[in-house]
């Protein structure tokens, strides 16, 4: 079966930060996890290059529009490449292919009579690129996300009505309890649907915003950025490009959109109603996560000096430990704090847990067993129970865990727990004492085998987060690591394998 995973496409008015890095890493981790389960995965990310915010940021640049958009889009692409993100398609909304699909979609709903023109007065938040209701604002009349008062704007525009589908959407959410995950966000959406929905303004007059896709039925206007941007999810997989849409439908059937809670309404209210008008099923799942906040739980901002720069922390700790840390530390029930100090603590935890274990056991057998994996025929009940517990836990998560942050988060927790359990076992069995007593030879070998086989299981489980580390551990155990599958049978490490003590997996950082 084919699975399709998407990230939001990011605005290019600023540099990518750790939040953008996180959602894109989460998508890559989920892709690798699904591939290990045998699924074929198509993964997309990209940049959202139109609208007033991006236009304003171009105005300060002194560059040609095309060069500016490419330069800013490349900032994201280069970061994702540096992070080894295995995306299958990087969408740019300024590409002619994407723009053509936006035009097709607009024509489609226009020809169905679903678009009307009217004069409109509203409060516009440039940060959100959305009109706001007074009830969306805080007591000062500010947008709570952008801490600014929206501007009062009066203009003629084209509108796409939403209200006619409100009840359908409520029913859809109630009959598809795992559509939006975690569930608390489904409740939030039902709250948004408790009152009648305003028509969605799908155009902007060119006198105000010219950076966008021309409306095919009136070129005094460009398309509203959110209408344009959401279409990326279908333009990236060739909506209407193959006649009867067979290929498109096959990929669309299992799509998961990843996002943070900031863009829930556009994805959970506008998007399914837009898709319904286009005759396309709602996306299979929306996976929503919280925010990364600076230390002390405050929003990251340049002026406070608490912004975490993805390049800086990648240089500090390497991309793989960073991937693991982010997936492990993001709360599944709310927001999470991030700082360079917290990241260092996470790195040290990995080094003390998996890193030390691997180095200690390999050094020990290099000395006493010529580096060869010993026999496994003398394992006692405790040894077997340790391996079975670890194998069964990973097996369960890989087999039954859904495509979600919860699964990834649980898996990362269980990897650390398994590492702790094996470290505790190793300390309690004290193989360095057993090694000195020839009469305890069998016991010594059983403890070493158990530890090595547990490391093998941990190495397989950790692959989606740290593919290079995973392969390094397997190679150090003499295991061929070309293709890593979600198979967790205990005692599968071949006795006699030649192990190799390599460099530390997680070298010391200050
Ligand atoms: N361009 C729109 C999305 C269009 S999708 C059809 C947009 N862009 S954005 O650049 O603002 O990116 C928002 C997304 O970036 C969030 O939903 C989340 O995936 C990620 N994050 C940005 N900042 C974040 C945090 N501080 N914490 C967690 N994720 C964050 O909205």
Report the CATH number that the domain containing residue 120 is assigned in CATH: 3.40.50.620
Atom index in ligand 1 nearest the CA of residue 262 equals: 17
Quick: pLDDT tens for 248-284.
999 999 999 999 999 999 999 999 999 999 999 999 9
Q: pTM of the full predicted structure?
A: 0.95
Residue 486 lies in a domain: no
Query: Of all residues in the chain, what percent carry a pLDDT higher than 70?
Result: 100
Residue 418 lies in a domain: yes
Q: Compute the distance between CA of residue 41 and CA of residue 25 in angstroms, rounded to an integer.
A: 15
Q: Compute the distance between CA of residue 428 and CA of residue 217 in angstroms, rounded to an integer.
A: 75
pLDDT of residue 296 exceeding 90, the answer is no
Report the CATH number that the domain containing residue 395 is assigned in CATH: 1.10.730.10
Query: What is the model's pLDDT at position 163?
Result: 98
Asked whether residue 32 falls in the same domain as residue 152, the answer is yes
Give the 3-state secondary structure of residue 181.
strand
- Under 8 Å CB-to-CB from 402, ≥6 apart: which residues? 178, 181, 285
How many other CB atoms sit within 10 Å of the CB of residue 262?
A: 14
Query: What is the model's pLDDT at position 305?
Result: 78
Query: What is the model's pLDDT at position 510?
Result: 86
Asked whether residue 465 falls in the same domain as residue 366, the answer is yes
Query: What is the model's pLDDT at position 240?
Result: 87
pLDDT of residue 230 exceeding 80, the answer is yes
- Determine the residue of 6, 12, 17, 20 to mutate for testing ligand 1's pocket, defined as the one with the most ligand atoms within 8 A of the Cβ atom: 20
For ligand 1, atom 18, name the residue with the nearest CA.
Answer: 260
Query: What is the model's pLDDT at position 464?
Result: 98
Query: What is the model's pLDDT at position 287?
Result: 98
Asked whether residue 195 falls in the same domain as residue 82, the answer is yes
Asked whether residue 259 falls in the same domain as residue 348, the answer is no
Q: Compute the distance between CA of residue 445 and CA of residue 449 in angstroms, rounded to an integer.
A: 6
Query: What is the model's pLDDT at position 432?
Result: 96
Quick: pLDDT tens for 458-478.
999 999 999 999 999 999 999
Quick: pLDDT tens for 79-126.
999 999 999 999 999 999 999 999 999 999 999 999 999 998 999 998
Quick: pLDDT tens for 361-396.
999 999 999 999 999 999 999 999 999 999 999 999
Residue 319 lies in a domain: no
- Determine the residue of 5, 10, 230, 301 to mutate for testing ligand 1's pocket, defined as the one with the most ligand atoms within 8 A of the Cβ atom: 10
* Binding site membership of 415 for ligand 1 (Cβ less than 6 Å): no
For ligand 1, atom 17, name the residue with the nearest CA.
Answer: 260
For ligand 1, atom 29, name the residue with the nearest CA.
Answer: 19
Residue 304 — very low, low, confident or very high, per pLDDT cuts 50/70/90? confident
How many angstroms separate the alpha carbon of residue 260 from the centre of ligand 1? 6
Residue 506 lies in a domain: no
* Average pLDDT for the chain: 95
Known catalytic residues are: 17, 20, 125, 128, 143, 146, 299, 302
Asked whether residue 432 falls in the same domain as residue 301, the answer is no
Average pLDDT estimate for 66-70: 97
CA distances from 430 to 275, 361, 455 (A): 62, 11, 17
Number of domains composing the chain? 2
How many angstroms separate the alpha carbon of residue 386 from the centre of ligand 1? 41
Q: Compute the distance between CA of residue 323 and CA of residue 346 in angstroms, rounded to an integer.
A: 11
Rg, C-alpha atoms of the chain: 26
Query: Of all residues in the chain, what percent carry a pLDDT higher than 90?
Result: 90
Residue 352 — very low, low, confident or very high, per pLDDT cuts 50/70/90? very high
Residue 354 — very low, low, confident or very high, per pLDDT cuts 50/70/90? very high
Asked whether residue 275 falls in the same domain as residue 393, the answer is no
SS3 content of the chain, % helix, strand, coil (to 5): 50, 15, 35
Query: What is the model's pLDDT at position 126?
Result: 86
Phi/psi for 462 (5° steps) reads -85, -5
pLDDT of residue 213 exceeding 90, the answer is yes
In the 3-class helix/strand/coil scheme, how is 7-43 assigned residue by residue? Answer: EEEEECCCCCCHHHHHHHHHHHHHHHHHHHCCCEEEE
Asked if 87 and 5 count as a contact pair (C-beta separation under 8 A), the reply is no
CA distances from 177 to 108, 180, 185, 270, 285 (A): 30, 7, 11, 19, 10
* Binding site membership of 259 for ligand 1 (Cβ less than 6 Å): yes
* Structural domain boundaries, residue 240: 2-308
For ligand 1, atom 24, name the residue with the nearest CA.
Answer: 19
Residue 66 — very low, low, confident or very high, per pLDDT cuts 50/70/90? very high
Average pLDDT estimate for 410-418: 98
Atom index in ligand 1 nearest the CA of residue 267 equals: 6
* Binding site membership of 19 for ligand 1 (Cβ less than 6 Å): yes
Asked whether residue 204 falls in the same domain as residue 283, the answer is yes
- Determine the residue of 12, 105, 260, 288 to mutate for testing ligand 1's pocket, defined as the one with the most ligand atoms within 8 A of the Cβ atom: 260
| Closest alpha carbon to 27 in 462, 404, 458, 414 | 404
For ligand 1, atom 9, name the residue with the nearest CA.
Answer: 10
Asked whether residue 257 falls in the same domain as residue 358, the answer is no
Atom index in ligand 1 nearest the CA of residue 14 equals: 10
How many other CB atoms sit within 10 Å of the CB of residue 421?
A: 15
* Binding site membership of 229 for ligand 1 (Cβ less than 6 Å): yes
For ligand 1, atom 2, name the residue with the nearest CA.
Answer: 10
Residue 131 lies in a domain: yes
């Amino acid at each position: 079966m084919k699975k399709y995973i998407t990230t939001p496409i990011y605005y290019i008015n600023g540099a990518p930060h750790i939040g953008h890095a996180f959602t894109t890493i989460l998508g890559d981790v989920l892709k690798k996890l699904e591939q290990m389960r045998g699924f074929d995965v198509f993964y997309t990310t990209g940049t959202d290059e139109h609208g007033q915010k991006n236009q304003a940021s171009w105005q300060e640049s002194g560059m040609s529009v095309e060069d500016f958009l490419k330069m800013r889009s490349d900032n994201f692409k280069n970061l994702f490449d540096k992070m080894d993100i295995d995306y299958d398609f990087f969408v740019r909304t300024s590409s002619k292919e994407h723009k053509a699909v936006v035009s097709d979609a607009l024509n489609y709903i226009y020809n169905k009579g679903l678009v009307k023109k009217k004069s409109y007065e509203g409060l516009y938040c440039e940060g959100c690129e959305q009109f706001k209701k007074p009830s969306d604002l805080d007591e000062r009349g500010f947008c709570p996300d952008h801490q600014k008062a929206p501007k009062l704007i009066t203009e003629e525009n084209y509108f796409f009505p939403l209200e006619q589908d409100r009840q359908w959407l409520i029913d859809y959410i109630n009959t598809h309890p795992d559509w939006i995950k975690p569930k608390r966000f489904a409740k939030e959406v039902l709250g948004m649907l408790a009152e009648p929905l305003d028509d969605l303004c799908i155009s902007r007059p060119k006198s105000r915003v010219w950076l966008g896709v021309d409306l095919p039925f009136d070129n005094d206007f460009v398309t509203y950025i959110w209408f344009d941007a959401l279409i990326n999810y279908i333009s990236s997989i060739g909506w209407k490009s193959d006649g009867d849409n067979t290929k498109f439908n096959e990929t669309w059937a299992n799509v998961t959109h990843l996002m943070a809670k900031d863009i829930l309404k556009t994805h959970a209210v506008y998007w399914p109603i837009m898709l319904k008008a286009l005759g396309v099923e709602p996306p299979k799942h929306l996976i929503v996560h919280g925010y990364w906040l600076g230390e002390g739980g405050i929003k990251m901002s340049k002026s406070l000096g608490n912004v975490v720069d993805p390049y800086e922390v990648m240089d500090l700790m390497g991309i793989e430990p960073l991937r693991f840390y982010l997936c492990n530390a993001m709360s599944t029930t709310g927001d999470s704090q991030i700082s360079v100090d917290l990241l260092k603590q996470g790195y040290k935890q990995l080094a003390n847990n998996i890193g030390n274990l691997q180095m200690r056991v390999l050094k020990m057998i290099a000395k006493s067993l010529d580096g060869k994996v010993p026999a496994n025929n003398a394992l006692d009940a405790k040894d077997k129970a340790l391996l079975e517990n670890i194998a069964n836990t990973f097996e369960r998560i890989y087999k039954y865990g859904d495509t979600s942050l919860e699964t990834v988060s649980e898996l990362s927790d269980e990897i650390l727990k398994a590492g702790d359990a094996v470290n505790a076992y190793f300390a309690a069995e004290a193989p360095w004492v057993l090694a000195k007593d020839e009469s305890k030879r069998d016991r010594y070998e059983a403890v070493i085998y158990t530890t090595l086989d547990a490391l093998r299981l941990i190495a397989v489980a950790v692959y989606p987060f740290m593919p290079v580390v995973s392969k390094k551990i397997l190679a150090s155990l003499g295991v061929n690591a070309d293709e890593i599958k979600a198979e967790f049978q205990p005692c599968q490490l071949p006795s006699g394998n030649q192990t190799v003590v390599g460099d530390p997996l997680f070298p010391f950082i200050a």
